A and B are shown apart, each in its own frame.
Chain A
Amino acid sequence: MIPLPSAAPGRTIFAHESPVAIIVFYCLAVISIAVFFYGWGRRLAKYRAGRSTGCRLLRPAPAGSSGTGPGTTGHGGCPVPEVVAGVNATPGTAGAVLALVTNRTVRRRSRAVGLAHLAVFWGFAGLLVATTIVAIDYDVYGHLVTGLLEGRQRSFFNGDFYLAFNAVFDAAGVAALGGTLYLLWRRARAEHFHPQLDYRRAEQPDAGYSRSAFVAGDWLFIGVLVALLFTGFVVQGLRIDESHFPPYERWTWMGWLFARALTGVGIGAEAATTVHSYLWWLHASMALGFVAYLPFSKAMHIVTSGADLLVTDPSTTRCLPPPPAAEGRAGYEVLTDFTRKELLDLDACTKCGRCHAVCPARAAGAALSPRDLILDLRQWAERQRGIRPVLDWETRPDATGPAATGPGVSLAGDVVKEHTLWACTTCMACVEACPVGIEHVPTIVQLRRSLVDQGRMEPRLQTALQNLAQQGNSFGKSARMRARWTKALDFSIPDARKEHVDLLWFVGDHASFDERLQELSRTLARVLHRSGVSFGLLYDEERNSGNDVRRVGEEGLFEMLVEHNLAAFTKSDFSEIFTTDPHSFNTLRNEYPGYGLEKRVRHYTQVLADLLEEGAIPVRPLGRRVTYHDPCYLGRYNRVVQAPRRVLRSLGCETVEMPRNKDNTFCCGAGGGRIWMDDSHLTERPSEMRIKEAAELGVDTFVVSCPKDYAMYSDAVKTTGHADHMTVRDIVQLVDEASTAPGALGVASGVAVEA
Chain B
Amino acid sequence: MKLIVAMRQLPDLVEELELDSSGKDIDREYLTFVSNEWDEQALEEALLLKEATGAEVCVVALDEPDVDSTLYTALAKGADRAVKLTGIPEGWMSTHDRAAILSAWLAEQSYDLIMTGVQAADDLDGQLAAIVAARLGLPHAAVVVRVDAKDGVAVVSQELGGGTAVEAEIRLPAVLGVQTARQPPRYAPITRIRQAMNAGGLEEAPAAVTPGVRPGLRRLFPPQRSGQAEMLEGAPADVAERIIDILRSKGLIDAGA
* A and B held together in a complex: yes
Chain A residues whose CB sits within 8 angstroms of the CB of B189 once the complex forms: 330, 452-453, 455, 554, 556-557
From B117-125, B168-176, B190-198, the one touching the partner chain is B190-198
- By the criterion CB–CB under 8 Å, are B186 and A470 in contact? no
| Residue from A470, A477, A554 whose CB has the most chain B CB atoms within 10 Å | A470
- Selected from B15, B188, B191, the residue in CB contact (under 8 A) with A478 is B15
Chain A residues whose CB sits within 8 angstroms of the CB of B221 once the complex forms: none
In the complex, whether A462 has a CB less than 8 A from a CB of chain B is yes
The verdict on A560 contacting B190 (CB below 8 Å), with A471-B14, A471-B32 known, is: yes
Within the assembled complex, what's the spacing in Å between the Cα atoms of A560 and B194?
10
- By the criterion CB–CB under 8 Å, are B187 and A480 in contact? no
The verdict on A462 contacting B184 (CB below 8 Å), with A471-B32, A476-B14, A478-B14 known, is: yes
Chain B residues whose CB sits within 8 angstroms of the CB of A477 once the complex forms: 14
9 new A-B contacts, CB < 8 A, other than A478-B12, A478-B16, are: A330-B192, A455-B187, A459-B184, A462-B187, A478-B15, A555-B191, A556-B191, A556-B193, A557-B189
B192 to chain A, nearest CB (A): 7
Within the assembled complex, what's the spacing in Å between the Cα atoms of A459 and B183?
11
In the complex, whether A465 has a CB less than 8 A from a CB of chain B is yes
In the complex, whether B136 has a CB less than 8 A from a CB of chain A is no
In the complex, whether A469 has a CB less than 8 A from a CB of chain B is yes
In the complex, whether A97 has a CB less than 8 A from a CB of chain B is no
The verdict on A480 contacting B190 (CB below 8 Å), with A459-B184, A470-B12, A471-B12 known, is: no
In the complex, whether B34 has a CB less than 8 A from a CB of chain A is yes
Within the assembled complex, what's the spacing in Å between the Cα atoms of A455 and B190?
11
Within 2-25 of B, Cβ neighbours of A (below 8 Å) are at 12, 14-16
Within 451-504 of A, Cβ neighbours of B (below 8 Å) are at 452-453, 455, 457, 459, 462, 465-466, 469-471, 476-480
Chain B residues whose CB sits within 8 angstroms of the CB of A457 once the complex forms: 187
- By the criterion CB–CB under 8 Å, are A554 and B190 in contact? yes
Give the number of residues in A that approach B within 8 Å (Cβ atoms). Answer: 23
Within 185-236 of B, Cβ neighbours of A (below 8 Å) are at 186-194
Q: Is the interface of A mostly helix, strand, loop or mixed?
A: helix
Within the assembled complex, what's the spacing in Å between the Cα atoms of A476 and B34?
12
CB-based nearest B residue for A477: B14
- Selected from A459, A465, A470, the residue in CB contact (under 8 A) with B32 is A470
Chain A residues whose CB sits within 8 angstroms of the CB of B187 once the complex forms: 452, 455, 457, 462, 465-466
The verdict on A455 contacting B186 (CB below 8 Å), with A476-B14, A480-B15, A556-B193 known, is: yes
Q: Mark A536-568, 1 if CB is under 8 A from B, else 0.
A: 000000000000000000111101100000000
Within the assembled complex, what's the spacing in Å between the Cα atoms of A462 and B189?
10
Chain B residues whose CB sits within 8 angstroms of the CB of A466 once the complex forms: 187
Within the assembled complex, what's the spacing in Å between the Cα atoms of A476 and B189?
18
Within the assembled complex, what's the spacing in Å between the Cα atoms of A40 and B188?
43
Residues of chain B touching chain A, judged by Cβ–Cβ distance below 8 Å, are 12, 14-16, 30, 32, 34, 184, 186-194
Chain A residues whose CB sits within 8 angstroms of the CB of B192 once the complex forms: 330, 453, 556
Chain A residues whose CB sits within 8 angstroms of the CB of B32 once the complex forms: 470-471, 478-479
Can you name 23 A-B pairs with beta carbons within 8 Å? A452-B189, A453-B189, A453-B191, A453-B192, A455-B186, A455-B188, A455-B189, A462-B187, A466-B187, A469-B190, A470-B32, A470-B34, A476-B14, A477-B14, A478-B16, A480-B15, A480-B30, A554-B190, A555-B191, A556-B192, A556-B193, A559-B190, A560-B190
Within the assembled complex, what's the spacing in Å between the Cα atoms of A203 and B138?
53
Within the assembled complex, what's the spacing in Å between the Cα atoms of A554 and B187?
11
Within the assembled complex, what's the spacing in Å between the Cα atoms of A452 and B186?
10
A-B contact count (CB 8 A): 49
Within the assembled complex, what's the spacing in Å between the Cα atoms of A466 and B77?
14
A428 to chain B, nearest CB (A): 25
A487 to chain B, nearest CB (A): 14
Within the assembled complex, what's the spacing in Å between the Cα atoms of A445 and B153?
45
Chain A residues whose CB sits within 8 angstroms of the CB of B16 once the complex forms: 478
- By the criterion CB–CB under 8 Å, are B15 and A556 in contact? no
Q: Mark A583-612, 1 if CB is under 8 A from B, else 0.
A: 000000000000000000000000000000
A451 to chain B, nearest CB (A): 10
CB-based nearest A residue for B77: A455
Q: Mark A422-461, 1 if CB is under 8 A from B, else 0.
A: 0000000000000000000000000000001101010100
Within the assembled complex, what's the spacing in Å between the Cα atoms of A471 and B34?
11
Chain A residues whose CB sits within 8 angstroms of the CB of B194 once the complex forms: 556
CB-based nearest A residue for B14: A478
Within the assembled complex, what's the spacing in Å between the Cα atoms of A470 and B187?
13
Chain A residues whose CB sits within 8 angstroms of the CB of B15 once the complex forms: 478, 480
Within the assembled complex, what's the spacing in Å between the Cα atoms of A455 and B194?
16
- Selected from B30, B34, B186, B190, the residue in CB contact (under 8 A) with A556 is B190
Within the assembled complex, what's the spacing in Å between the Cα atoms of A465 and B187?
9
CB-based nearest A residue for B195: A556
CB-based nearest A residue for B15: A478
Chain B residues whose CB sits within 8 angstroms of the CB of A455 once the complex forms: 186-189
Chain B residues whose CB sits within 8 angstroms of the CB of A330 once the complex forms: 189, 191-192
CB-based nearest A residue for B34: A470
Within the assembled complex, what's the spacing in Å between the Cα atoms of A459 and B32?
23
Chain B residues whose CB sits within 8 angstroms of the CB of A559 once the complex forms: 190
Within the assembled complex, what's the spacing in Å between the Cα atoms of A256 and B192?
73
Within the assembled complex, what's the spacing in Å between the Cα atoms of A533 and B98?
56
CB-based nearest B residue for A325: B191
Within the assembled complex, what's the spacing in Å between the Cα atoms of A722 and B236?
35
A482 to chain B, nearest CB (A): 12
* Top 7 A-B residue pairs of the complex, sorted by shortest distance between their CB atoms: A556-B190, A556-B191, A557-B190, A455-B187, A455-B186, A462-B187, A478-B14
Within the assembled complex, what's the spacing in Å between the Cα atoms of A559 and B191?
9
Chain B residues whose CB sits within 8 angstroms of the CB of A465 once the complex forms: 187
Within the assembled complex, what's the spacing in Å between the Cα atoms of A557 and B193?
10
CB-based nearest B residue for A557: B190
CB-based nearest B residue for A457: B187
B154 to chain A, nearest CB (A): 25
B48 to chain A, nearest CB (A): 13
| Residue from A330, A457, A556 whose CB has the most chain B CB atoms within 10 Å | A556
Within the assembled complex, what's the spacing in Å between the Cα atoms of A466 and B14?
13
Within the assembled complex, what's the spacing in Å between the Cα atoms of A520 and B142?
49
Within the assembled complex, what's the spacing in Å between the Cα atoms of A443 and B167?
47
B108 to chain A, nearest CB (A): 33
Chain A residues whose CB sits within 8 angstroms of the CB of B14 once the complex forms: 471, 476-478
A658 to chain B, nearest CB (A): 38
Chain B residues whose CB sits within 8 angstroms of the CB of A480 once the complex forms: 15, 30
Within the assembled complex, what's the spacing in Å between the Cα atoms of A453 and B189?
6
B89 to chain A, nearest CB (A): 26
Chain A residues whose CB sits within 8 angstroms of the CB of B186 once the complex forms: 455
B181 to chain A, nearest CB (A): 13
A25 to chain B, nearest CB (A): 60
Chain A residues whose CB sits within 8 angstroms of the CB of B193 once the complex forms: 556
A412 to chain B, nearest CB (A): 13
Within the assembled complex, what's the spacing in Å between the Cα atoms of A556 and B195?
10
Within the assembled complex, what's the spacing in Å between the Cα atoms of A466 and B193?
13
B81 to chain A, nearest CB (A): 21
Within the assembled complex, what's the spacing in Å between the Cα atoms of A457 and B186?
9
Within the assembled complex, what's the spacing in Å between the Cα atoms of A455 and B189?
7
A688 to chain B, nearest CB (A): 31
Chain B residues whose CB sits within 8 angstroms of the CB of A557 once the complex forms: 189-190
